[in-house]
Amino acid sequence: MSADGFHVHGPHDHELEHAQKGHGDHGGSHTNSIAMFTAIIATVGALFSYMGGATQANAGLYKNNAAIKKTEASNQWNYYQAKSSKQNLSELAIELAPGAKKDFYEQEIKRYKQEKSEIKVVAEKLEAESKEWDHQSDEQLHQHHRWAQATTALQVAIALAAIALMTRRKWLEWGMYGMGAVGLGVGVMALMHL
C-alpha cells in the first residue's frame, strides 16, 4: 500500500485473498472428491489384496492335503497289491500242496480276499478325499485370481486418479470411476465365489 492509500495487488495476492474467502476454488472440491475416491479405493484395494493372498495360501494348503491323501491312497493300493500277490501264491500252493494242506490255503485265500476288500474301501475313500481337496484348491485358486483382478483394476483406478488430478482431464476422471467400478464389481464376484 502506498502512502496515499492506493494499493496494487499482484496476481498471487489476488489468488490468496480469493482462496481465503472461499472464492476461486479452481477445482478444490473437485480435487477433494478425487482424493477421497483415491483413499477409499486404496483401502478397499488393500482388503482385496489381503483376501487374494489368503486364498492363494489356502489353495496351496489344499493342494498339499490332496497330495498327502493321494500318497496314502497309493500306499493302500500297494498294500492291496501285496495281498493279491499272497492270494495268488496261496492259489498256486493249493495246486502243489498235499491234500492235508489244501484247507489251510483255502482259508488263506478267503482271508486275503476279505483283507483286499477292506483295503480297497479305504483306498477308494482316500482317493475321493484327494479329489475333494484338489477341487477345493482349484476353487481357492480361481477366487485368488478374482481378488487379483479386482486389486489390479483398483490400482489402475488410482493411477488414473493421479493423472486426472495432474491433467484435469474429465475423460480420465470418468475412466478412474469406471475402473473403480470394475474393480469393485470383480471384488464382489470374488466374494460371491463367482
pLDDT digits (tens, 9 = 90+) for 95-130: 888 888 888 989 999 999 999 999 999 999 999 999
Q: Is the pLDDT of residue 17 over 80?
A: no
pLDDT tens digits for range 126-146: 999 999 999 999 999 999 999
- Residue 16 falls within a domain, yes or no? no
CA-derived radius of gyration, the chain: 37
Q: Is 25 helix (H, G, I), strand (E, B) or coil?
A: coil
Split into its structural domains, the chain has a count of 1
Confidence class of residue 63 from pLDDT cuts 50, 70 and 90?
Answer: very high
CB count within 10 Å of CB 58 equals 17
Winning range, highest mean pLDDT, from 23-32, 71-80, 163-172: 71-80
CA distance linking residue 160 with residue 100, whole number of Å: 91
Confidence class of residue 15 from pLDDT cuts 50, 70 and 90?
Answer: very low
The pLDDT value given to residue 59 = 95
**What percent of the chain shows pLDDT beyond 70?**
86
Report the mean per-residue pLDDT for the chain. 86
CA distance linking residue 163 with residue 159, whole number of Å: 6
The amino acid at residue 121 is: V
- Residue 5 falls within a domain, yes or no? no
Nearest of 44, 60, 62 to residue 186 by alpha carbon: 44
- Residue 11 falls within a domain, yes or no? no
- Residue 110 falls within a domain, yes or no? yes
- Residue 128 falls within a domain, yes or no? yes
Higher pLDDT, 8 or 66: 66
pLDDT tens digits for range 133-182: 999 999 999 999 999 999 999 999 999 998 888 888 888 889 989 999 99
Single pTM value for the model? 0.69
- Residue 150 falls within a domain, yes or no? yes
The pLDDT value given to residue 127 = 95
Domain holding 105, by residue range, is 41-191
Q: Is the pLDDT of residue 10 over 80?
A: no
The pLDDT value given to residue 24 = 47
CA distance linking residue 79 with residue 51, whole number of Å: 42
- Residue 28 falls within a domain, yes or no? no
- Residue 14 falls within a domain, yes or no? no
